[in-house]
């Protein structure tokens, strides 16, 4: 009797198990919202739209703000749109200026009197939508941002302060924030004589960075330079900050390749910019990790706490790839760019079940001075927040993927 009961229990268990397995097998897989058959550039663009349905809230904001980060991501998306003509992407790009610009051309949350170079970057997307729509309010914004540059405070030699609240300071970041926009404005809206004066001023910004921020031994660039030597982060003899920060150098590299899009072929400073770019490329590949990526503090890979970081890596990848594609750099650097992109896929990229792409290991923010005070030490740079999908990484990732046709 006991044997019969045991057989019955085992039989029921077997049939129940089969039913459960069949039931589990019948559960449909989550539908892919973003297809893995698309190129990485489009996949990341669509992932950003999925993550931040409102473009004014890019960069994890809880309320809209005129800022460089939406400008960076939306400019990257505009390049994707020009390739694939996906209306969803264009509508997303347009929504940012449409919401942030009043009918009279006033920019919400922006104050010219702050003289903050970071605020210029979003002007690049204004060019794009103005050329598409010819809406007068967008042209007013472009004029307003150029007017800021005309009044931007400078060092004794004419180098733009990064912000009015950071007097006598030039940061690597500022070259990318302002100079491609500056050159584009001169090219499109100024007389040849006046435009040439602006080009001279633009090249001067790069000349000063090369003069003060480049380390002759490593070829790397210090994040900030304080002409006054008053900041606690500044070396009392050189005025330089202490470390070679990956993203700081990333900003500068992108500035070099992007400003060349608008600097005339016959301008006397163009050859110098290309020379600077070649020196820059030679330096950064020396510090490229075997994974293809780069460390947060570039020259201290063995130091405890340092980590391979996604935003700087994406910027270096873009700079090298575009530099080769434009003919500014030798073709050999394309191998470094491809290795870097693959390294990013291996170490930083994860894909959710619905196809949404994440870029992980991004330094969320880093700067110098301010309140609370940022002292530029190694401990400071490795101690800032690390997060996924920071726009300072996703934007350059998209642009790098486009340059590499991936």
pLDDT digits (tens, 9 = 90+) for 197-215: 999 999 999 999 999 999 9
- Residue 12 confidence (pLDDT) above 70: no
Residue 329 is part of a domain; what is its CATH number?
Answer: 1.50.10.10
Residues 6+ apart with CB under 8 A from 372: none
How far apart are alpha carbons 333 and 405 in whole angstroms?
16
Q: What is the pLDDT of residue 23?
A: 46
Q: What is the pLDDT of residue 29?
A: 56
- Residue 80 confidence (pLDDT) above 50: yes
Q: How far is CA 395 from the centre of its chain?
A: 5
Tokens of 21: 């397995």
* Host domain of residue 333: 40-404
Question: Is 7 part of any domain?
Answer: no
Buried b (16+ CB within 10 A) or exposed e, 231-246: bebbeeeebbbbbbbb
How far apart are alpha carbons 319 and 253 in whole angstroms?
6
Q: What is the pLDDT of residue 31?
A: 77
Q: What is the pLDDT of residue 376?
A: 96
Question: Is 136 part of any domain?
Answer: yes
- Residue 360 confidence (pLDDT) above 50: yes
DSSP string, 90-113: HHHHHHHHHHHB-TTSPBTT--GG
Q: What is the pLDDT of residue 30?
A: 62
Number of structural domains (the chain) is 1
Query: Which candidate in 59, 173, 207, 258 is catalytic?
Result: 173
Question: Is 15 part of any domain?
Answer: no
Question: Is 162 part of any domain?
Answer: yes
173: annotated active-site residue: yes
| Percent of the chain with pLDDT strictly greater than 70 | 93
Provide the mean pLDDT of the chain.
93
Q: What is the pLDDT of residue 142?
A: 98
Q: What is the mean pLDDT of residues 106-118?
A: 97
Q: What is the mean pLDDT of residues 270-274?
A: 98
Question: Is 9 part of any domain?
Answer: no
Question: Is 35 part of any domain?
Answer: no
pLDDT digits (tens, 9 = 90+) for 179-191: 999 999 999 999 9
């Amino acid at each position: 009797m006991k044997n019969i009961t045991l057989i019955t229990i085992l039989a029921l268990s077997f049939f129940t198990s089969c039913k459960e397995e069949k039931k589990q097998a019948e559960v449909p897989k989550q539908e892919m919202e973003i297809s893995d058959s698309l190129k990485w550039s489009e996949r990341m663009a669509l992932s950003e739209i999925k993550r931040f349905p409102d473009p004014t809230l890019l960069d994890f904001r809880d309320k809209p703000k005129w800022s460089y980060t939406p400008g960076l991501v939306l400019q990257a998306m505009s390049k994707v749109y020009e390739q694939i003509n996906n209306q969803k992407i264009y509508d997303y790009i347009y929504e940012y200026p449409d919401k942030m610009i009043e009918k009279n051309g006033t920019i919400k949350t922006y104050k010219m009197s702050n003289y903050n170079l970071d605020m210029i970057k979003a002007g690049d997307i204004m060019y794009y939508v103005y050329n598409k729509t010819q809406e007068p309010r967008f042209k007013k914004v472009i004029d307003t941002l150029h007017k800021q540059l005309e009044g931007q405070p400078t060092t004794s030699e004419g180098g733009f302060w990064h912000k009015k609240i950071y007097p006598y300071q030039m940061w690597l970041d500022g070259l990318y924030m302002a100079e491609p926009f500056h050159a584009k404005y001169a090219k499109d809206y100024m007389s040849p004589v006046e435009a040439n004066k602006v080009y001279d001023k633009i090249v001067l910004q790069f000349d000063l960075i090369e003069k003060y921020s480049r380390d002759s031994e490593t070829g790397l660039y210090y994040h900030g330079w304080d002409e006054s030597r008053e900041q606690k982060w500044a070396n009392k003899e050189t005025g330089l900050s202490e470390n070679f920060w990956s993203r700081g150098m990333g900003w500068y590299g992108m500035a070099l390749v992007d400003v060349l899009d608008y600097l005339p072929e016959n301008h006397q400073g163009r050859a110098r910019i290309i020379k600077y770019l070649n020196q820059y490329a030679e330096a950064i590949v020396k510090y490229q990790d075997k994974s293809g990526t780069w460390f947060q503090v570039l020259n201290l890979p063995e130091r405890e706490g340092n980590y391979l970081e996604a935003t700087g890596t994406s910027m270096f990848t873009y700079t090298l790839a575009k530099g080769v594609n434009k003919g500014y750099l030798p073709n050999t650097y394309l191998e470094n760019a491809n290795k870097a992109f693959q390294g990013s896929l291996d170490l930083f990229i994860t894909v959710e079940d619905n196809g949404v792409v994440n870029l992980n290991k991004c330094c969320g923010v880093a700067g110098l001075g301010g309140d609370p005070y940022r002292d530029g030490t190694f401990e400071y740079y490795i101690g800032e927040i690390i997060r996924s999908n920071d726009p300072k990484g996703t934007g350059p990732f998209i642009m790098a993927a486009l340059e590499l046709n991936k």
